A and B are shown apart, each in its own frame.
Chain A
Amino acid sequence: MEMPKVDAAIVARKPAIVAALQGVLPHDAVIFDEAAVRVYECDALTAYRCPPLAAVLPRTTAEVAAVLRICSQMGVPVVPRGSGTSLAGGALPTADCVVLGVARLNDVLETDYDNRFIRVQSGRTNLSVTGAVESDGFFYAPDPSSQLACAIAGNIAMNSGGAHCLKYGVTTNNLLGVTLVLMDGTVLEIGGAHLDAPGLDLLGVICGSEGQLGVVTEATLRILPKPEGARPVLMGFDSNEVAGECVSDIIRAGILPVAIEFMDRPCIEATEAFAKAGYPMCEALLIVEVEGSAAEIDEQLALIMEIAQRHNPVELRQSQSDEESKKIWLGRKSAFGAMGQINDYMCLDGTIPVSSLPYVLRRIGEMSREYGLDVANVFHAGDGNMHPLILFDANKPGDLELCEAFGADILKLCVEVGGCLTGEHGVGIEKRDLMKVQFAPEDMEAQLWVKDVFDPKWLLNPAKVFPLDVTASRRAG
């Protein structure tokens, strides 16, 4: 992966930059020792690493503004970082940048059940937002699988999803307002506890802008009352096509399950060996979960079971207890861990129209044989968001490159059938060079205008999202 040329002039000014940052932050909040900055050299896309010039850990919006003002004045690129769980390299530094970590901004500022929102500092982890309200019967809906560790700041940057977005939407549908600091240090309030801010929907474009428009320090999030209960049903089919048809029939019947998860045979086999969840050995497995009171769940599941029966399932198992529900979810939740036991893997994140599921899975199978790399598919089937896991050996020369080429071909296939490169992980550096597959030059140019307006000097996370040749004339240095 190509990264921009390091600006030697910035590196040479490191002492002055560090001194300026120390002038506005407590000393323990400026990290510049060569060994210490290594902590920030990568995120969850660990194949790519580069220690930054320095890292800062501000505690307040005012400190964030002061840091950005200094970096803006000194022409230093800034890479914002939530918890560093990006699978796309969204928080990957360059050697001439300052990493701005929001980890110390982790307070709950306001909880308001009457108006159903919570205001938090952006470094707070996703799960701890729910943690702050669940004893009162509420939760924060977006639930990326990294939710124990990932920060709200990163969720907003990537517009994160999760397994339950078919019903509850993704981050952008649950975000009411932000405090945003622009690269020049300007602090803005956008949106708030009321709905639908007037004027252009700046909040909508900030969410998912991968830390390129500003640094979010506070967020107002919608919280929802917890459903009375939830129960999954497990179904196995002897072909991907039939599983796909079953998903479509459930949706057409007017039921909106809270989650529909799909696993293919390689994934079922690996997970079963690892987690022993008691999954049937078959071509395709679905976990369909519905919510409500016991009676409502029965009403929905009766209909779902009837639809599933029509497709001759090889297994159809409705959970009868919390214990069984846990077991049904156990395999799905340990799928990534199971694959990690077998080998190194790369996790993709394309989305496809649900109707092309059988075709796409067949093509992925063919490509897997051509590339000689195994692939397993986990899939949010209700919304078309695929997570193919390609297995490779990081110690084998050339295998990572082969895996990346295979991954790129799968993502091109997603675009070809009417889908997109990334459904919830973001572009980062990982999919940056594929953007031309999905977007014509005019489509990309219109996106660059937005960055031109928010960050005219192109100093915030500048080497991400867009191909380097497309942004070369705009980036500093």
Chain B
Amino acid sequence: MKPANEMELAEAIRAANGPLRIVGGGTRAIGRMPAGEVLETAGFSGISLYEPGALTIVAGAGTPLADIEAELAKGGQRLSFEVPDMRGLLGRSGASTIGGVVACNASGPRRIQAGACRDSLIGVRFVDGAGAVIKNGGRVMKNVTGYDLVKLMAGAQGTLGVLTEVSFKVLPRPEVEATLIRDGLDPAAAVVAMSKALGSPFEVTGAGYIGGQVRLRIEGMAGSVAYRQTALAKLLGPGWGLAEAGQSADLWAEIRDVAPFVGKPGAVWRISVKPSDMPGLLALLGDTQTFCDWGGGLIWALVPEEGDAMAGVLRAYLNALGGHATLVRASEAMLAEVPVFHPEPAAVAALTAGLRAKFDPRGVLNHGLME
């Protein structure tokens, strides 16, 4: 099914007598593949409003991400949350849609400084599981009118409604970027360096740790970046090198798109903790291949497809510590056994279930995807 407008979409959902599988570009599908007839959002395509002077863009949920990025680039702007390209990791082809980005709350390295996708999202239109057309938020960046269902829809994986339109606050595209690099640091030293940089006034927009190398990114006007890279290097002490322009961009694409794990067999975990817990977690993961983003707060791990792929030990550790782990990629057999999303405490799970029952009373929208 490929409805062309909200009325057709609402009608299709109302008429559904079984589950529906909602598909944007199909480029970041994680978890168990939900059963049901495919419902494509490609009909909701196109940018309906772009006001560079108001830092605002509004587009249909099925609009290709590439179209949005190209249009914003013309205005010297961009989506600030640095959308990861998951196609390599997940072995997918096709064109990512902006609705899919929202449904996954897909956020890259700049999340620590500019916020996640959900922080840039300022408005949504969607059709719920009963076929009602609902809007929330709008096209202005300061809006506290009624409850913030915009946030609720971001990261809901299409389980509360099918997005038809999304609005964003966008930010200026910086003139230049540069990355400070230092090799040969152990996890404890790496987190100290990253915390020091992120605790400085020099506005670090990326802090990663990969193969013993710490990377710290600075972006902005040319004079400002030159000043801050010098000031930051001085703060951190000797031993730091510099990557500029395209070379810097490549370093961040590698982290953002989980490039080290592309084409390698194994289960892939995405783990979120507070940065200072990173060294302990890496110790727990032992010989597992890992790398870190978000100043150490985001850990990617490639685990052998054996047993429960460390789910039990990992999640027990995180439950005691505070944090969560998502099984981003695994074999069908593993996915059948191990919950993809970190199980919630009972009281939180009850609220989540209650919300799903309200927004999708018949359980037709990507049913079971987040369980």
Contacts and interface: CB of A to CB of B under 8 A. Distances in A.
A442 B132 contact: yes
B240 interface: no
Interface stretch (A28-36, A271-279, A351-359, A395-403): A351-359
B51 A225 contact: no
A247 B52 CA distance: 11
Contacts, number: 266
Interface stretch (B18-26, B60-68, B134-142, B284-292): B134-142
A192 B119 contact: no
A207 B118 CA distance: 13
Interface stretch (A45-53, A158-166, A261-269, A319-327): A158-166
Contact of A247 (B53, B133, B140, B273): B53
A219 to B, nearest CB: 15
Given A380-B142, A427-B146, A198 B227 contact: no
B266 to A, nearest CB: 21
B148 A115 contact: no
Contacts of B342: 198-199
B145 interface: yes
A443 B143 contact: no
Nearest to A418: B139
A454 interface: yes
A115 B276 contact: yes
Contacts of B152: 200-202, 204-205, 450
B223 A196 contact: no
B366 interface: no
Given A195-B272, A205-B152, 18 more contacts: A115-B274, A115-B276, A116-B199, A161-B144, A194-B324, A200-B155, A201-B154, A225-B198, A225-B199, A225-B201, A252-B76, A256-B171, A300-B221, A384-B54, A384-B142, A422-B143, A427-B146, A450-B147
B173 A254 contact: yes
Interface string A234-256: 00000000000001110110111
B53 A355 contact: yes
Contacts of A353: 51, 54, 56, 139-140
The contact size tier of chain A is 35 or more
A439 interface: yes
Contacts of B294: 195
B209 to A, nearest CB: 15
A200 B143 contact: no
Nearest to B139: A418
B92 interface: no
29 contacts: A115-B276, A169-B115, A172-B119, A173-B115, A187-B347, A188-B347, A192-B274, A193-B274, A194-B323, A196-B116, A200-B152, A201-B118, A201-B156, A204-B148, A204-B150, A205-B151, A208-B148, A254-B175, A256-B172, A299-B224, A351-B143, A352-B140, A354-B54, A427-B145, A435-B145, A446-B128, A446-B358, A447-B136, A450-B152
Contacts of A182: 347
Interface in A369-387: 380, 383-385
A145 interface: no
Nearest to B128: A446
Given A172-B148, A195-B294, A420-B145, A186 B347 contact: yes
Contacts of A205: 147-149, 151-152
Contacts of B358: 446, 449-450, 452-453
B331 interface: no
Interface in A394-450: 418-427, 431, 435, 438-440, 442-447, 449-450
Contacts of B93: none
Nearest to A444: B146
Nearest to B55: A251
A465 interface: yes
A228 B202 CA distance: 9
A16 interface: no
A254 B138 contact: no
Contact of B138 (A202, A420, A426): A420
B274 A355 contact: no
A253 to B, nearest CB: 8
A39 interface: no
Given A113-B199, A198-B344, A200-B155, A424 B144 contact: yes
B146 A292 contact: no
A194 B147 contact: no
A292 B225 CA distance: 11
B205 interface: no
A300 B221 CA distance: 8
A195 to B, nearest CB: 6
Given A251-B54, A452-B358, A453-B351, A158 B175 contact: no
Max chain B Cβ within 10 angstroms of own Cβ: one of A196, A247, A351, A438: A196
B143 A420 contact: yes
Contact of A443 (B135, B151, B322): B135
Contacts of B297: 115, 194-195
A205 B370 CA distance: 18
B160 A299 contact: no
A114 interface: yes
B200 interface: yes
A170 interface: yes
A380 B54 CA distance: 12
Q: Which 5 A-B pairs have the closest CB atoms?
A: A204-B151, A248-B53, A453-B354, A449-B358, A423-B142
B229 interface: no
A189 interface: yes
Interface in A308-358: 351-355
A446 B144 contact: no
A449 B355 contact: yes
A354 B175 CA distance: 24
A384 B141 contact: yes
A351 B148 CA distance: 16
A224 to B, nearest CB: 9
A351 B227 contact: no
B275 interface: yes
Contacts of B316: none
Contacts of A385: 140, 142
A204 B118 contact: yes
Given A194-B323, A198-B344, A353-B54, A209 B200 contact: no
A148 interface: no
A393 interface: no
A418 B137 CA distance: 11
A115 B275 contact: yes
Given A256-B172, A353-B140, A450 B199 contact: no
